[in-house]
Amino acid sequence: MDTSHFIRLAWQNWATSVTATSQQSGMPSSNLLNNQPFLVWRSTSASNQTLTGNFDYLRPVSYLCLYNHNLSFVAQVRLQLYAEDAQTTLLYDNQWDATSPTYNFGEHFGLYFGGFSSEGFMTRYSIYFFESIPAKSFKVTLSGTTGSYYQAGILRIGSYWQPEASNISFGYTLKREDESRQTALESGGIYTEKKPSWRSMGVKFDYLSESDELNLLDLKYINGKSIPLLVSIYPTAAQTLRRHHTMFALLSEWSELSKNDVCLRSCSFTLREVI
């Protein structure tokens, strides 16, 4: 079955702590567990860096996300999962993987789809999905930076959710929001006050199972409107399609889950991109 069009949502972050090979003063590795992308960890050199962390107990792990990083286009990331905090029993090793996607967030050959900041479209992110593996700790090794140091704003490692069925009624609306203001001038011209822009996505499900319902309720009541989540509409598709339909976002609107006569659930919500 082709699952490239399935939506994947990831909101759990199992990491309870993270340490780095090095860190600059005022930019500790603990910033990686903060939900604000601008609070970054930064290394003291361009040498390969290792991020090591633990989970509170054995957790199912199926994705890794690094957000707002400065890895180069040819950089590689290695993820290793272990059965215990001491990291003696290796459970998973991706044996180095390229940064994915390979362009800046929302950028593709000069076309922009979100992620605007005062410095331009500069937020890079890398996402790795894989089969779920129970693990107690992790190690992420970074190789290849664009500068004299490594930097990242958010590290997420946990378990993603995907609907149990293909959900043929699943639909979404992706659009770009812009708060720029225009004022008519006496001369007849128009003055535009440029403001940040971002993407928003409306998502609708009509055929959800009981398990799907529990997962979405977990998203609503644990994350709410204050903790960002990762959403990918084409998680296994080619780079361009996947990149254009992936966001780090907050819930902005939510319809309550409803159930029909044959016990199938429906739900819709709106996501706003975090920039």
Residue 18 CA to residue 28 CA, distance in Å, equals 10
Q: Which residues, 6 or more positions from 192, have their beta carbon under 8 angstroms from its beta carbon?
A: 180, 181, 182, 183
User: Please, which pLDDT band fits residue 113 given cuts at 50, 70 and 90?
Assistant: very low
User: Please, which pLDDT band fits residue 163 given cuts at 50, 70 and 90?
Assistant: confident
CA nearest to 67, candidates 3, 130, 13, 8 = 13
Taking the model in full, what pTM does it have?
0.82
Higher local confidence (pLDDT), 218 or 136: 136
Give pLDDT, residue 88: 96
Mean pLDDT is lowest, of 24-28, 39-43, 99-103, 140-144, for 99-103
Mean pLDDT of the chain: 83
With a cut of 50, say whether residue 1 has pLDDT above it.
no
- Domains of the chain with bracketed CATH: 10-158 (2.60.120.260), 171-273 (no CATH)
Give pLDDT, residue 50: 97
With a cut of 90, say whether residue 262 has pLDDT above it.
no
With a cut of 80, say whether residue 232 has pLDDT above it.
yes
With a cut of 50, say whether residue 104 has pLDDT above it.
no
Per-residue pLDDT reduced to its tens digit, 63-85: 999 988 888 878 899 999 999 99
Phi, psi of 127 (to 5 degrees): -130, 140
Please give the distance of CA 103 from its chain centroid, rounded to a whole number.
Answer: 15
The average pLDDT across 143-151 equals: 91
Contact (CB, 8 A) for 266 and 206: yes
Give pLDDT, residue 100: 66
Burial class (CB in 10 A: 0-12, 13-18, 19+), 268: middle
Instruction: Give the Å distances, CA to CA, from 158 to 26, 113, 116, 176, 188.
Output: 27, 27, 27, 29, 55
User: Please, which pLDDT band fits residue 167 given cuts at 50, 70 and 90?
Assistant: low
Residue 136 CA to residue 17 CA, distance in Å, equals 12
Phi, psi of 27 (to 5 degrees): -130, 65
The average pLDDT across 122-149 equals: 89
The average pLDDT across 170-180 equals: 80
